[in-house]
Amino acid sequence: MTTRIDRRFEALKKEGRAALVTFVTAGDPDYDTSLKIIAGLPKAGADVIEIGMPFTDPMADGPAIQAAGLRALAAGQNMKKTLKLVKDFRKQDKDTPIVLMGYYNPVYVYGVEKFLKDSKTAGVDGYIIVDLPPEEDGEFCIPALKAGQNFIRLATPTTDDHRAPTVFHNTSGFVYYVSVLGITGTKAPDLKSVKANVNRLRKHTKLPICVGFGVKSAEQARAIAKDADGVVVGSALVQAVEKSLTKAGKPTSKTAKAVHALVSDIAQGVRS
């Protein structure tokens, strides 16, 4: 069974270009603004959209995404509203792949079977659950695959040739290569290292490899797109949200526009 993610990467391969994968946090800074941001991403140049599921203890995320999660939670965002966000997006966009990204705890609390059913009904195509290693595939990965959805795994600079086959065993959709060691959005990727590791990991998987963590500019995106199948931008977009808010943390008329303008700029880099 092919998913929207599979079809999108196949189409981009025929176009001969890399994907732009954008990450934003669900409900940041509030539900309506979040929906407006997500709804405008495809037109701005996003090929795949990752939506962060807000969580109180996001251990892999840097200050920007942590702050976004806290803003969303303070505004009343929860899992039901996150799935509603996808459902509302799907009313106007049937084609752009949606990936939910986050931690296992909120999924476990919601109930895996119910979560998979409700998220598929809403229009979710795949998942990145950062704290579920391959050894725990029975918890969520395999049920997701059986439901006809993709389970996208993270690979890092420390994913060596011995570990890679285990990491990629049940991975589908694409591989998310974490270009730096540490948390999101705090370091710039080393382009030589990215190229070497992407080429090394290709020996272990035929899946598209998308590179993220620390990508902030069109120039970086252009350089990474030469070697990778996709470029992931997250913290920079979340920071664009934060910078547009009032001192009280409320959205302004510039909030969605700021995100879409940055996506458009980076998309030009990916496409050039």
Neighbours of 187 (CB within 10 A): 14
Tell me how long the chain is. Answer: 272
In the residue annotation, 15 being an active-site residue is answered as no
For the chain, what percentages of helix, strand and coil (3-state, to nearest 5) are there? Answer: 45, 15, 40
* Catalytic residue of the set 6, 30, 47, 61: 61
Question: Which residues lie across from 153 on neighbouring strands?
Answer: 175
* Strand 175-178, strand 209-212: pairing: parallel
Q: CA 163, CA 133: separation in Å to the nearest integer?
A: 11
Question: Which residues lie across from 233 on neighbouring strands?
Answer: 22
Nearest-10 crossing angle of helices 255-271, 218-225? 40
In the residue annotation, 30 being an active-site residue is answered as no
Neighbours of 190 (CB within 10 A): 14
* Catalytic residue of the set 6, 28, 50, 118: 50
* Strand 19-25, strand 153-155: pairing: unpaired
Question: Mapping DSSP to helix (H, G, I), strand (E, B) and coil, where does residue 73 land?
Answer: helix
Catalytic machinery residues: 50, 61
